[in-house]
């Protein structure tokens, strides 16, 4: 149900418009892109692959936003801890 | 494991970021409270164990493994039905690797293969269709399992078979839908779950809206999460923050993959090919209405149940098997009387031992170690 | 350990090198053939003949397809047998090979494989001194099967065995894992995956020789992780020695393509077969020199220390991630299967 992996589109099939070749860490497979018929897809795009089908396009911006937000976690708390460090009350 | 990076995977396994989220979780939990968070999807169960995430969570957070394991919830009688097709001369039974060691009453698909039946493992339903095209003198049956993540792929395969005019291919459809199972768990009187980690890949198809009833009607937080360590931990953090704030809403942690409105093309394919069965038996949970997919009569020639007379014999689990209670989070696996003695991954009695991501199988594998860690 | 087991039917799982294989050997074969040397269940059986310590090993090679990127059944047969002798602490002396040929096998395929055996043997400095050939009907033997017998002379400086393994000992791995198994999986063509990957089949004698020369007193145990992978041999060690093995997940080398194939198929590289690697357990004071010695040999540059032996939890193999997550690495019952869940 759940095992799906991101792969990069490296080629579209000339004979079959619903087939694309994706690359996952150097391993290539033909994938059916019929479930993403509503979306524009380009060479270089990343898609999520499950049982030989592309399920979703990977959102690069969303990925970046998530990582940025997590990286900022705790910084507010750290700043507060630093401030507290300057008081001398027991 | 280190030679070469995998984009959109390795960034979400970054140890520093994981540590940050883990610390934030520590800061957010109420140390006096015993949290029970259900992660619905078997893939989440697998990921939690694979990445050792229970070691980085506070001890008062208990992750309850939900019913999102399509192999686990498949009744043995249905396995027998699929295997009965393999016994017919001139047929090829194809299935995902997950199915190959699942026992029917007379053996597993691999054991049937050892006895001479033509049973072949495939990675994709399209591979099964290709076998049918390449071997026109055989009938190829695809044993379809999976939730809404996988069903659209089966749908597209059936549509393609029809478009190509392939006559020797059918699907034995055991696709189930996750929401009725979650509702069944929420409705059960002894249920004690504080919040849900929603299934990331099912939601890629269904979108996030279908889970709103959990938040609105049952007042539980739902966070749709991805599968990498950072995703799961961030999802857990978001559930904890909602609980702390007294909120109950649906949130999407897995934004880089899951569209809020789901995949319309996939939903159209599902609607074209499938309809809901009035009810279907879930091993460990009993009969649940409107919870499984059946191939529409317009595609009857691709429906193994229409093309073949299947035994349809119901096989019940022994009463001593307490799968239902484990699924609902009432019992932990070792609290079931059969756990570890009569019921082991090699001799599974109940649903949750059958697949390696079933709650009991996962616990069994890691139990000796975890006991040492918790000592 | 040697309680007889009844097996209803032989399954593919019995040949996968994991728990089912162990049950077959320990439950059916050993109790019947019963003798002290057999019961040690080491890779090579050690005999004393007129004071000389001889290591003997037998192996079977069954692979489909017969030839693949990086090797073929002929080179596999020679390297595999030599490796069994090497990790038992013996210098290979000679090999014998029995070939079971399928009627209909093209003559040039047989020639190719015999050439491959000859080339591998020459490169390793051993001779195939005898053997046998049988032909079976068309439809059997998948082309050809090769069964080998290897003889070596034990290095008396070494005391190897699970009983010598101690808490604190380090785990040395010779190079990247999973290459062979993934190559074969892809070569079968059923999964429709393409990758630039080849079998790692090679003799590990040069590396083992380097260890023998530099750290003989510190060498505790060696094994080549073939079918069942690193997970299987380390679980066997953990069980036999009643110790725990803790691995550092980030230290374990896996090639990009092997990792990619494993992620797509839901496989664990630790369970995948290798044909050119070995694991050595080394006393801690010798670990760095051991690593150095292997790395200095051509082809050994990827060798790495991947973990250590602990007392508790005993009988278990664990990997640890950089962020403190741990998981148990279990021994599979049968072959690893791709999954979609």
Q: Taking the model in full, what pTM does it have?
A: 0.94
Residues of B with CB below 8 A from C340's CB?
A: 96-98, 123, 146, 150
Choose among C11, C325, C340: nearest Cβ to B114. Answer: C11
Q: How many residues does chain A have?
A: 90
Q: What is the least distance, in Å, from the CA of B246 to any CA of chain C?
A: 30
CA of A38: which chain B residue's CA is closest?
Answer: B265
Residue B262 and residue B148 in contact, taking contact as beta carbons nearer than 8 Å = no
The lowest-confidence range among A7-21, B61-75, B197-211, C59-73 is B61-75
Residue B41 and residue A2 in contact, taking contact as beta carbons nearer than 8 Å = yes
Task: Kindly state whether A49 is in contact with chain C, defined as any CB-CB distance less than 8 angstroms.
Answer: yes
Residues of A with CB below 8 A from C195's CB?
A: 26-28
Choose among B121, B365, B372: nearest Cβ to C337. Answer: B121
Q: Which of C173, C76, C90 is nearest to C120 (CA)?
A: C76
Residues paired with residue B225 on neighbouring β-strands, in sequence order: B199
pLDDT at C228 over 50: yes
**Over pLDDT 90: what percentage of chain C?**
87
Average pLDDT across chain C, whole number:
95
pLDDT at C276 over 60: yes
Encoding tokens for residue B222? 């739902």
pLDDT, tens digit, 9 for 90 and up, residues C134-143: 999 999 989 9
pLDDT, tens digit, 9 for 90 and up, residues B36-55: 999 999 999 989 999 999 99
CA of A31: which chain C residue's CA is closest?
Answer: C192
User: Phi, psi at residue B282, to the nearest 5°?
Assistant: -105, 120
Test B121 with C256 for CB contact under 8 angstroms: no
Strands B169-175 and B195-199: unpaired
Choose among B1, B4, B98: nearest Cβ to C340. Answer: B98
Distance CA(C63)–CA(B285), nearest Å, equals 44
- Chains touching C (3+ CB pairs < 8 Å): A, B
Q: How confident is the model at residue A86 (pLDDT cuts 50, 70, 90)?
A: low
Cβ count within 10 A of residue B16: 10
Q: What local confidence, expressed as pLDDT, does residue B367 receive?
A: 61
Q: What is the least distance, in Å, from the CA of B198 to any CA of chain C?
A: 15
Q: What local confidence, expressed as pLDDT, does residue B373 receive?
A: 44
CA of B55: which chain C residue's CA is closest?
Answer: C325
Q: What is the least distance, in Å, from the CA of B149 to any CA of chain C?
A: 10
**Over pLDDT 70: what percentage of chain A?**
88
Distance CA(C116)–CA(C74), nearest Å, equals 5
User: Phi, psi at residue C88, to the nearest 5°?
Assistant: -90, 0
Peptide bond into B70 cis (omega under 30): no
Q: What local confidence, expressed as pLDDT, does residue B177 receive?
A: 97
pLDDT, tens digit, 9 for 90 and up, residues B234-258: 999 999 999 999 999 999 999 999 9
Q: What local confidence, expressed as pLDDT, does residue A63 receive?
A: 97
pLDDT, tens digit, 9 for 90 and up, residues C161-220: 999 999 999 999 999 999 999 999 999 999 999 999 999 999 999 999 999 999 999 999
Q: Cα–Cα–Cα angle for C97, C335, C20, nearest 5°?
A: 80
Q: What local confidence, expressed as pLDDT, does residue C132 receive?
A: 96
Interface subset of A 40-79, CB within 8 angstroms of B: 46, 48, 50-53, 55-56, 58-60, 62-63, 65-67, 70-71, 73-74, 77
Test B146 with C341 for CB contact under 8 angstroms: yes
Distance CA(B263)–CA(B173), nearest Å, equals 21
pLDDT at C82 over 50: yes
Q: What is the least distance, in Å, from the CA of B275 to any CA of chain C?
A: 23
CA of A50: which chain B residue's CA is closest?
Answer: B150
Residue B107 and residue B137 in contact, taking contact as beta carbons nearer than 8 Å = no
Residue C332 carries which DSSP code? P
Residues paired with residue C191 on neighbouring β-strands, in sequence order: none
Residue A48 and residue A4 in contact, taking contact as beta carbons nearer than 8 Å = yes
Residue C87 burial (10 A CB sphere; 0-12, 13-18, 19+):
buried
Distance CA(C300)–CA(C151), nearest Å, equals 25
Q: What local confidence, expressed as pLDDT, does residue B368 receive?
A: 56
Test A25 with C340 for CB contact under 8 angstroms: no
Test A1 with B257 for CB contact under 8 angstroms: no
Test C337 with B355 for CB contact under 8 angstroms: no
Three-class DSSP labels, chain B: CCCCCCCCCHHHHCHHHHHHHHHHHHHHCCCCCCEEEEEEEHHHHHHHHHCCHHHCCCCCEEEEEEEECCCCCCCHHHHHHHHHHHHCCCEEEEECHHHCCCCECCECHHHHHHCCCCEEECCCHHHHHHHHHHCCCCEEEEEEEECCCCHHHHHHHHHHHHHHCCCCEEEEEEEECHHHHHHHHHHCCCCCCCEEEEEHHHHHHHCCHHHHHHHHCCCCCEEEECCCHHHHHHHHHHHHHHHHHCCCCEEECCCCCCCCCCCHHHHHHHHHHEEECCEEEECCCEEEECCEEEECHHHHHHEHHHHCCCCCCCCCCCCCCCHHHHHCCCCCHHHCCCECCCECCCCCCCHHHHCCCCHHHHHHHHHHHHHHHHC
Here the ipTM equals 0.94
Peptide bond into C313 cis (omega under 30): yes
Q: What local confidence, expressed as pLDDT, does residue B374 receive?
A: 42
Rounded to 5, what percent of chain C is helix, strand, coil? 35, 25, 40
Choose among C176, C263, C341: nearest Cβ to B6. Answer: C263
Encoding tokens for residue B200? 């990331």
For chain B, which ranges sit under pLDDT 50? 371-375
Q: How confident is the model at residue A90 (pLDDT cuts 50, 70, 90)?
A: low
CA of C320: which chain B residue's CA is closest?
Answer: B52
Q: How many residues does chain B have?
A: 375
Q: What local confidence, expressed as pLDDT, does residue A85 receive?
A: 65
Residue C307 carries which DSSP code? E
Residues of C with CB below 8 A from A16's CB?
A: none
Helix axes C107-124, C73-87, angle to 10 degrees: 30
Residues of A with CB below 8 A from C196's CB?
A: 26
Q: What is the least distance, in Å, from the CA of C255 to any CA of chain B?
A: 5
Residue C229 and residue C271 in contact, taking contact as beta carbons nearer than 8 Å = yes
Distance CA(B225)–CA(B44), nearest Å, equals 9
Query: Biggest alpha carbon distance in chain C?
Result: 58
Residue A35 and residue B265 in contact, taking contact as beta carbons nearer than 8 Å = yes
Q: How confident is the model at residue A84 (pLDDT cuts 50, 70, 90)?
A: low
CA of A49: which chain C residue's CA is closest?
Answer: C264
Q: How confident is the model at residue C97 (pLDDT cuts 50, 70, 90)?
A: very high
Task: Kindly state whether A2 is in contact with chain C, defined as any CB-CB distance less than 8 angstroms.
Answer: yes
Test B97 with C337 for CB contact under 8 angstroms: yes
Choose among B127, B150, B256: nearest Cβ to A62. Answer: B256
Q: What local confidence, expressed as pLDDT, does residue C111 receive?
A: 97
Q: Which of C214, C224, C227, C81 is nearest to C149 (CA)?
A: C81
Q: How confident is the model at residue A1 (pLDDT cuts 50, 70, 90)?
A: low
């Amino acid at each position: 149900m759940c095992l799906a992996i991101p792969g990069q589109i490296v080629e579209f099939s000339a004979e079959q418009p619903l087939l694309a070749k994706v690359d996952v860490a150097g391993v290539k497979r033909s994938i059916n892109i019929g479930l993403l018929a509503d979306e524009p897809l380009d060479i270089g795009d990343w898609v999520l692959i499950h049982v030989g089908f592309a399920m979703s396009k990977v959102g690069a911006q969303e990925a970046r936003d998530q990582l940025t937000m997590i990286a900022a976690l705790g910084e507010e708390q750290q700043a507060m801890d630093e401030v507290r460090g300057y008081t001398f009350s027991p | 494991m280190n030679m070469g990076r995998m984009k959109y995977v390795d960034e979400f396994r970054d140890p520093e970021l994981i540590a940050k989220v883990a610390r934030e979780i520590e800061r957010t939990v109420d140390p006096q409270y015993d949290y029970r968070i259900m992660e619905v999807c078997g893939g989440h169960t697998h990921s939690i164990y694979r990445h050792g995430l229970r070691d980085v969570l506070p001890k008062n957070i208990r992750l309850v493994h939900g019913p999102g394991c399509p192999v686990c919830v498949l009744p043995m009688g249905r396995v027998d039905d699929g295997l009965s097709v393999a016994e017919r001369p001139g047929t090829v039974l194809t299935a995902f690797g997950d199915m190959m060691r699942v026992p029917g009453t007379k053996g597993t698909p691999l054991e049937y293969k050892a006895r001479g039946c033509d049973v072949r493992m495939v990675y994709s339903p399209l591979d099964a269709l290709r076998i049918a095209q390449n071997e026109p003198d055989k009938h190829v049956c695809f044993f379809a399992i999976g939730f809404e993540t996988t069903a659209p792929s089966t749908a597209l395969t059936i549509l393609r078979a029809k478009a190509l005019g392939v006559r020797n291919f059918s699907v034995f459809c055991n696709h189930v839908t996750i929401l009725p199972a979650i509702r069944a768990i929420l409705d059960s009187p002894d249920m004690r779950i504080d919040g849900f980690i929603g299934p990331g890949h099912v939601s890629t198809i269904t979108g996030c809206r279908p889970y709103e009833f959990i938040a609105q009607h049952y007042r539980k937080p739902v966070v749709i999460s991805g599968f990498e360590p950072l995703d799961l931990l961030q999802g857990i953090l978001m559930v904890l923050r909602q609980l702390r704030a007294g909120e109950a809403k649906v949130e999407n942690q897995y934004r880089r993959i899951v569209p809020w409105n789901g995949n319309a093309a996939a939903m159209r394919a599902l609607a074209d090919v499938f309809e809901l069965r009035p009810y279907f038996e879930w091993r460990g949970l009993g009969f649940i209405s409107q919870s499984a997919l059946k191939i529409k009569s317009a595609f009857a020639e691709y429906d193994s149940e229409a093309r073949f007379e299947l035994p349809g014999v119901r096989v019940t689990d022994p009463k001593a098997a307490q799968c239902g209670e484990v699924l609902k989070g009432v019992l932990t696996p070792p609290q079931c009387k059969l756990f570890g003695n009569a019921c082991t991954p090699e001799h599974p009695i109940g649903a949750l031992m059958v697949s390696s991501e079933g709650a009991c199988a996962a616990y069994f594998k890691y139990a000796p170690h975890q006991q040492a860690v918790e000592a | 350990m040697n309680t007889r087991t009844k097996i209803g039917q032989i399954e593919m799982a019995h040949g996968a090198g994991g728990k089912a294989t162990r049950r077959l050997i320990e439950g059916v074969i050993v109790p019947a053939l019963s003798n002290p040397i057999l019961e040690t269940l080491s890779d090579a059986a050690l005999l004393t003949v007129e004071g000389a310590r001889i290591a003997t090993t037998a192996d079977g090679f069954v692979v489909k397809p017969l030839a693949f990127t990086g090797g073929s059944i002929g080179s596999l047969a020679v390297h595999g047998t030599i490796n069994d002798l090497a990790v038992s602490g013996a210098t290979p002396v000679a090999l014998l090979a029995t070939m079971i040929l399928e009627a209909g096998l093209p003559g040039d395929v047989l020639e190719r494989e015999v050439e491959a055996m000859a080339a591998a043997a020459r490169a390793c400095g051993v001779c195939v001194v005898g053997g046998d050939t049988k032909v079976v009907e068309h439809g059997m033997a998948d082309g050809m099967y090769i069964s080998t017998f290897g003889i070596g002379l034990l290095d008396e400086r070494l005391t190897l065995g699970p009983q010598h393994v101690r808490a604190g000992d380090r785990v040395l791995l010779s190079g990247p894992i999973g290459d062979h198994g993934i190559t074969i999986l892809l070569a079968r063509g059923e999964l429709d995956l393409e990758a630039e990957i080849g079998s790692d089949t090679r003799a590990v004698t040069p590396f083992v020789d380097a260890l023998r020369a530099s750290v003989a007193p510190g060498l505790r145990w060696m094994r080549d992780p073939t079918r069942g992978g690193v997970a299987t041999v380390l679980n066997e060690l953990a069980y036999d020695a009643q110790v725990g093995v803790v691995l550092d997940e980030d230290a374990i080398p896996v090639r990009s393509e092997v990792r990619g194939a494993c992620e797509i198929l839901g496989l664990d590289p630790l369970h995948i077969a290798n044909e050119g690697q070995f694991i050595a357990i080394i006393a801690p004071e010798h670990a760095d020199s051991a690593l150095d010695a292997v790395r200095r040999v051509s082809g050994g540059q990827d060798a790495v220390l991947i973990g250590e032996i602990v007392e508790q939890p005993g009988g278990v193999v664990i990997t640890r991630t950089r962020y403190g997550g741990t998981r148990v690495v279990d021994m599979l019952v049968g072959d690893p299967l791709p999954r979609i869940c």
